[in-house]
Amino acid sequence: MSERRDLRSQIAANKRRTVYVMIGFVVFIAAVVAVFDLAFSGGPIIIGIAIVIALVMVWGSYFNSDKLAIAASHAVVADPNDYRQYHNLVEGLCLGIGLPKPRLYIVDDPAPNAFATGRNAEHAAIAVTTGLLAIMNRAELEGVLAHELSHIANDDILIGTIAVTLVGFMALLSDFGLRLLIFGRNGDRRRNGGSQIYIMVFALVFIILAPIAAKAMQFAISRRREALADVSGVLITRNPDGLIAALVKLRDNPAIIAHAPAATAHLWIESPLDPQSHGVHGWFNRLFQTHPPIQSRIDALRAAAGLARAA
């Protein structure tokens, strides 16, 4: 019962967090444009245009960011004849929890992984890699699919999907700031040297903070989503061993997904960026990981399963 109460409170928190993120995005864009408008004397019209663009981006991300996530992962529709078990498992799980069947996609990639996206249960989609289907047995695949359906049932997918578009837009703004820094200094020769320094400082601060803000937005979605989806996925299947075994296989498989941009990393059941943590930007990836360590998720499920069996 405590798990179910925790899940209900998380669903409510997810809805509130979605509103906060969308409002914060509009405010952030307006504030950044106001800074550059002040520096370059563009006038209030520029700020108004920026606010309109931010609102359009939020509105567009609400309706279309699931399509962007599917396109970014190079996913294609899963043919019911070629992927009969995939379709059958999802249909059975959806019947058991009263969800409409989401659209099903395949990502042609040997790295095992999966994600759910969409704005609500009626407009949801699940994508799995060919690598996942190749190494998982029926019980393990059912555990993974129940995990993804839990994201849909718990209203996790809306905020996760919106973040894909917003994080990408943050990156564009960072590039815009860099261009202003490079070319803006020659744009108005009436400015004195102090103003040029002023412009450079604000541009540099933005260039530094925009990517960090994008990562922080993903981090704000909360690692707890994955742990709760694990728990609620087990509640759906009533078989913790299936998901535990699946997570063990994910932990032990070093393959990296070819098409998984950082903006979509938080959507996957296992972060596709984690295997790259030994690279040049490893310390930065570890600092802003969107998933809890997969071993801690395995340990939590094993502990919960042990307590349930003891009871």
| Active site positions, annotated | 148
d(CA 30, CA 33): 5
301, 240 contact by CB (below 8 A):
yes
269, 148 contact by CB (below 8 A):
yes
d(CA 48, CA 27): 12
Residues 270, 274, 279, CA angle at the centre, nearest 5°? 160
Residues 16, 17, 18, CA angle at the centre, nearest 5°? 90
22, 162 contact by CB (below 8 A):
yes
Q: Can you point out the beta strands (E) in 20-59?
A: none
Residue 17 makes CB contacts below 8 A (sequence gap 6+) with 159, 220, 221, 222
d(CA 141, CA 44): 55
Sole residue written with tokens 């540099």? 204
